[in-house]
Structure formats: structure tokens, C-alpha cells
Amino acid sequence: MGALHFFVRYSLREYTGFMWQHGGFLIRRRRIRWPASLYLRIKTTISAAFHFVILGRGRRTYEFTIDEHGIVRTSGGVTLINWDDVMAVRTYSRGFMMVLKRGTLPIPFRCLDDAQRGVMRVLAQARRDHVLG
């Protein structure tokens, strides 16, 4: 795999959209039913939005490099993420969600060209195969 290199600047709407979908996935996986599922989904999305604003994530541009060694995220500081820390790469309507042992990394489709989207789809399948294998 060649290295992917791209930049992401999240909007609050986009970020909460990712969190709404991911929260829905987690709630369905735990078989929590309505109305508790709706309450939890709203609560977690509002919490994510609050942290987005407080931490100033909308004011930062993140630079990502993804290669066979792992993920490097840069924005003021550098975060190195080993592939062993990536539990899954999920596909949502707005983009990919890298599910880490500690947290998530949303990757919007708009930040990737067609070739990069293809590579991310391969990564998603490789993570599924790795976890299930």
C-alpha cells in the first residue's frame, strides 16, 4: 500500500453526523431498544458536540499520513497510531470511521480522492479480516 496523505478540517455538523451514526451502530450492537436507544444516541451526540466546541476541533486542520506502519495525525502536535490500535474501519454516509482502542478518527469522503477512497475500503476489509480471522 502506498502512503495516503490528506488534510481534514471538520465542521460541527459533519463531526456530529459521524458521531450520530457511530453512536447508532454501538447502540444497535448492544441491542438497546427504543426509547432508551434514542435517549443514548442524543446524549452521546450532544456530548461529542460539546467536546468538539470546547477542544476547538473546528479551528484546527489535521494532516493525516496513513501507510503500512500506521497512522500519523498532525495538528500542532503529532499523534502516532499503530495498526494494532485500530480495531475497525467502518464506512458511514459521510466517510470512514477508524475505531481505535481509545477513541475514533472520522475521515470524511470529501477529503479523499477516488484512489484514496479505494485504499480506505481495502483497509476497512483488511481490518474486518484481521479481527475475524
The pLDDT tens digits of the residues spanning 73-121 come to: 998 889 999 888 988 888 899 999 999 998 889 999 999 999 999 988 8
**CA–CA separation, 39 vs 35, rounded Å?**
6
pLDDT, one tens digit per residue, over 1-31 is 578 999 999 999 999 999 998 888 888 777 8
CA of residue 53 relative to chain centroid, distance: 17
Domain boundaries, the chain: 4-132
- Estimate to the nearest angstrom the gap between the alpha carbon of 115 and the chain centroid: 19
CA distance 128 to 31: 21
pTM for this model (two decimals):
0.80
